[in-house]
């Protein structure tokens, strides 16, 4: 196995060992389905022609069929195969969508609180990112309507994360999804629905997607990064066949034979054998358990003044504290890495995002207790807070 030094050199990021890391929004090593992937890879070897030559432009039909089955199970309708496209991770899908459906100088509407790294992709394409006020996963639809009606700008698309939102963990209501679909329909606006966390519900499945209410102009993005492993770089787009065909016909796909053909075949094999579904059930159970531990620990240490809403799925808790002015710093001082989330326009104090995906339940509990102790016990902390309040 690789040493910590090798891991640090080869990966985007690897924890230094001294810090408890609750920042990364990816499965920890203990949640990766290594054995099931190895088995699927062994099955692939005998059929080299099928798996190792250039793939078809939209992706191998066997994977599209399996994705259609996944969508049917979670949404109640079975998409036609020509409305599906295999992509190399949602990040790559966003890149392809920007290249196909936007021009430099146009705008993209996003929530005040959103997945920040998507904004880098939009800006790379010369798009102006316009933040629409909102709460959790929901954009204020009156403000969005005003933006879409403004004659001085063309909004190339609206980007939303309605289900187990990053960073808030929140879920948009069914009503909001319908209203967004109606608004987009009346403005003929494309909605890019980033559905990275849909499959990761703890108990009840989330409400049906915006895509299920808006056929013509939604592009819904699913990814195997969160349910299997981000290093696979495999995801999909589901949308109107006309839009999907435009993505499918791009030169990059013609030249490269689709994208990630071998990995697509590998994951198709895991779906065909049931290994994916088995892994997903275990993953959901583990995440649900961790969420319960986090919730219980926050309740038990409530003298720290925690403010949060427990999510019903996904990877994230967004936490504030009425007793700490700089919560990210408090966590840092007790050796816990979290993601600071700046105060949103619509109110609330500064908050931090913790992921339940990378650290196990015991580590999550220990980290939160350390932070709670620092907030409630430390005279230095209290003096600092008093100093700031003045």
Ligand X SMILES: Cc1ncc(COP(=O)(O)O)c(C=O)c1O
Tell me 129's DSSP state.
E
Residue 336 main-chain phi, psi, to 5 deg = -125, 125
Q: Which is nearer to ligand X, 89 or 239 (CB)?
A: 89
Of the candidates 51, 83, 90, 301, which one interacts with ligand X according to CB under 6 A?
Answer: 90
Is residue 235 at the binding interface for ligand X, with CB under 6 A as the rule?
yes
Is residue 232 at the binding interface for ligand X, with CB under 6 A as the rule?
no
Q: Which is nearer to ligand X, 27 or 230 (CB)?
A: 230
Of the candidates 60, 230, 239, 320, which one interacts with ligand X according to CB under 6 A?
Answer: 230
Of the candidates 55, 67, 115, 214, which one interacts with ligand X according to CB under 6 A?
Answer: 115
d(CA 197, CA 48): 32
Of the candidates 27, 58, 89, 136, which one interacts with ligand X according to CB under 6 A?
Answer: 89
Contacts of 171 (CB under 8 A, 6+ apart): 136, 137, 162, 163, 164, 165, 206, 207, 311, 312, 313
Of the candidates 20, 22, 23, 25, which one interacts with ligand X according to CB under 6 A?
Answer: 25
Binding mask 183-212 for ligand X (x = CB under 6 A): -----------x-x----------------
Is residue 238 at the binding interface for ligand X, with CB under 6 A as the rule?
no
Of the candidates 212, 223, 227, 265, which one interacts with ligand X according to CB under 6 A?
Answer: 223
Tell me 223's DSSP state.
E
d(CA 244, CA 232): 22
Short-list 227, 233, 189, CA closest to 93: 233
Q: Which is nearer to ligand X, 15 or 305 (CB)?
A: 15
CA quadruple 223, 134, 25, 30: dihedral, nearest 10:
-80
User: With CB under 6 A as the contact rule, which of the stretches 14-22, 85-93, 172-180, 255-263 interacts with ligand X?
Assistant: 85-93
How deeply is 316 buried, as exposed, middle or buried, from its count of CB atoms within 10 A (0-12, 13-18, 19+)? buried
Is residue 51 at the binding interface for ligand X, with CB under 6 A as the rule?
no
């Amino acid at each position: 196995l690789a040493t910590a030094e090798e891991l640090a050199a080869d990966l985007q990021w690897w924890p230094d060992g001294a810090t408890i890391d609750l920042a990364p929004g990816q499965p920890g090593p203990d949640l990766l389905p290594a054995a099931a992937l190895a088995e699927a890879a062994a099955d692939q070897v005998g059929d080299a022609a099928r798996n190792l030559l250039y793939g078809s432009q939209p992706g191998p039909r066997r994977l599209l069929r399996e994705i259609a089955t996944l969508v049917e199970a979670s949404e109640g309708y079975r998409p036609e195969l020509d409305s599906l496209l295999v992509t190399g991770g949602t990040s790559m899908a966003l890149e392809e969508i920007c290249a196909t459906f936007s021009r430099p100088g146009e705008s993209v509407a996003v929530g005040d609180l959103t997945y920040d790294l998507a904004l880098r992709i939009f800006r790379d394409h010369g798009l102006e990112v316009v933040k629409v006020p909102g709460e959790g996963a929901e954009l204020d639809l009156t403000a969005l309507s005003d933006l879409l009606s403004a004659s001085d700008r063309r909004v190339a698309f609206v980007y939303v994360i309605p289900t187990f939102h990053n960073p808030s963990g929140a879920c948009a209501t069914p009503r909001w999804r319908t209203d967004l679909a109606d608004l987009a329909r009346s403005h003929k606006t494309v909605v890019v629905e980033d559905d990275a966390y849909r499959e990761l519900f703890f108990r009840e499945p989330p409400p049906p997607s915006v895509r299920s209410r808006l056929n013509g102009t939604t592009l819904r993005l699913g990814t195997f990064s969160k349910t299997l492993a981000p290093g696979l770089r495999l995801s999909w787009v589901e949308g109107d066949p006309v839009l999907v065909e435009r993505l499918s016909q791009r030169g990059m796909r013609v030249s490269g034979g689709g994208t990630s053909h071998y990995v697509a075949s590998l994951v198709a094999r895991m779906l065909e054998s049931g290994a994916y579904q088995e892994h997903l059930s275990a993953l959901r159970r583990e995440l649900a358990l961790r969420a319960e531990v986090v919730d219980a620990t926050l309740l038990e240490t409530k003298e720290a003044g925690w403010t949060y809403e427990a999510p019903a799925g996904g990877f994230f808790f967004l936490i504030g504290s009425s007793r700490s002015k700089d919560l990210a710093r408090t966590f840092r001082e007790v050796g816990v890495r979290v993601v600071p989330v700046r105060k949103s326009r619509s109110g609330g104090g500064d908050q931090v995002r913790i992921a339940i995906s990378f650290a196990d339940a015991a580590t999550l509990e220990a980290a939160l207790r350390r932070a709670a102790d620092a907030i409630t016990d430390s005279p230095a902390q209290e003096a600092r807070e008093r100093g700031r309040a003045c």
